[in-house]
Amino acid sequence: MANMKRHANPKPTHCGKAHLKKVAKEAFPKYTLEFCSHSDLGGHRAPRDHTLGFRLKDSRGNYKSNVIWVMPQALQNWTSQNVRNAVKKANGCE
């Protein structure tokens, strides 16, 4: 097993997605996080295949952020401050 290569496009894990949801809730308690992929958005808009995107939604279902793309292997490293910074940048406020 030590000789196995890592997949070039790893898929997001359940634990990684749960972690990102948790830190997003810490950063924006009034919003929920909704995951999306490039195919959900009508084409190949992601920077690369298997990239995971997310957006924040309010209780009425209105989006409060543009799509933020995340590499699956980086999900566990995100903090609430990373989420705040990414939303700010994605919404053109930086």
pLDDT in tens, 56-93: 999 999 999 998 988 888 889 999 999 999 999 999 88
In a domain, 12, yes or no: no
Count of domains forming the chain: 1
In a domain, 20, yes or no: no
| Centroid of chain to Cα 51 | 8
Interval 3-58: pLDDT, tens: 545 555 567 788 889 999 999 999 999 999 998 876 555 555 545 556 788 999 99
In a domain, 10, yes or no: no
Dihedral sign for Cα atoms in the order 93, 66, 27, 47: negative
In a domain, 2, yes or no: no
In a domain, 41, yes or no: yes
- Domain range enclosing 45: 30-90
The pTM score is 0.76
